[in-house]
Structure 1
Amino acid sequence: MRALPTPTTEPALVGGRRAPSGGRLPWSWARQALEEARNYWIATNRPGRPPHCRPVWGVWQLDGFWFTTGSRANRNLAKDDAIAVHLESGQQVVIVEGRAVRTREHADLIRFAKAVDTKYGWDAVPADDGVTDPEGNGGPVYVVRPGLVLGWNTDVSVATRWEFGT
């Protein structure tokens, strides 16, 4: 697992202008929100069609956001690995933009299965193509290493842009 580099930080634009305070949120604020979230929304690109959005379960690790899905997103990511990940909350906003890389490494699948079992009580185990549970739910496993993360607080008085240069 390769830990993310320290991001560069600057005030972000929200609605085309800087937040009123012009301040910055610490990366620890965004990281904690990503770690503690229960549900995440992903958006992938459908070739020649509108984007595909759906909620997923996932875990934030030292090297990025890990998730699995059995949805249309798999076909989209096979053609275009660009992805956006958004927290469920519209009050504590964190948006991750990056690339989704599929992992088939057995050690990664074991680590992911243990992390989702701890977080969700989901009895997932490694499979040939990702992870699965006793009912056959699951799918390929992806890690999203962020290039850009945007975040702002409840009243949008502070908005921050973190760039990872990855």
Structure 2
Amino acid sequence: MTAEVLDNKEKPTGTPAFIFRQTAPGPTQPWSWAENLLKSAATYWLVTTSPDGHPHSRPLWGVWEQDTFWFSSQNRSGEFLKVNPRASVNLQVGEDVVMIEGSCSRVLGNDDINVLAEGVGVKYDWELTVSEDRVHTRFGQSAPVFRLNPERVYGWAGIAGWESATRWDFPRS
């Protein structure tokens, strides 16, 4: 999300999503519904693509802050994002569906990395320390930090609630 939009505190406006070969009849979901799920979900699924085109999906913890999804990963996802920064994050929250599509970037600098470290501390009661442009656990694990800058978010209420399928567009930064 661009700094200008964040400064103005504009929220995306939902439109009916084109899904299952048709436009959802509505009504659309409000952005507050999707944002609440993005903030409260415990588990997220990150989907990246390997350099040879294979999909790579892994569960992880993360936080939704400043209209951005923040996460760390010590598996192959980080290497894949160097080649292709495009990714998707999907929630694991009952039957409600929220999917973020956008581009990931590596987070550098303690102040920005602390967004994730502090968020994980509050949300999961899990301590992370920050140094050398990485987060570290008390068990000696270390990982780089990334943020997924949303370009588009999709969501609908309940697995059978496709009629409420909503699309929120974010300006590209």
Return the TM-score normalized by structure 2.
0.88
The residue type equivalent to 2:103 in the other structure is R
Off by >4 Å, runs of 4+ in structure 1: none
The residue number in structure 1 matching 2:75 is 71
Structure 2: unaligned runs, 5 residues or longer = none
The residue type equivalent to 2:166 in the other structure is T
The residue number in structure 1 matching 2:58 is 54
Alpha-carbon distance in structure 2 between the residues aligned to 1:109 and 1:74: 15
The residue number in structure 2 matching 1:153 is 157
Alpha-carbon distance in structure 2 between the residues aligned to 1:138 and 1:34: 25
Percent identity over the alignment is 36
- Cα 1:91–1:8, aligned 2, differ >3 Å: closer, same or farther? same
The residue number in structure 2 matching 1:132 is 136
Q: Bigger CA drift: 106-115 or 54-63?
A: 106-115
Structure 1: unaligned runs, 5 residues or longer = none
Work out whether residues 5 and 164 of structure 1, in 8 Å CA contact, stay in contact via their aligned partners in 2.
no
The one of 117, 120, 139 equivalent to 2:121 is: 117
Alpha-carbon distance in structure 2 between the residues aligned to 1:30 and 1:9: 10
Could you report, residue by residue, the CA deviation over 1:23-72 in whole angstroms, capped at 9, with x for unpaired residues? 21111110000000000000011111311100010000023000001011
Work out whether residues 103 and 148 of structure 2, in 8 Å CA contact, stay in contact via their aligned partners in 1.
yes
Alpha-carbon distance in structure 2 between the residues aligned to 1:36 and 1:43: 20
Return the TM-score normalized by structure 1.
0.92
**Number of residues of Structure 1 aligned to a counterpart in Structure 2:** 165
Work out whether residues 64 and 146 of structure 1, in 8 Å CA contact, stay in contact via their aligned partners in 2.
yes
- Cα 1:151–1:126, aligned 2, differ >3 Å: closer, same or farther? same
Judging by fraction of residues, say which structure has more helix. Answer: 2
Work out whether residues 40 and 57 of structure 1, in 8 Å CA contact, stay in contact via their aligned partners in 2.
yes
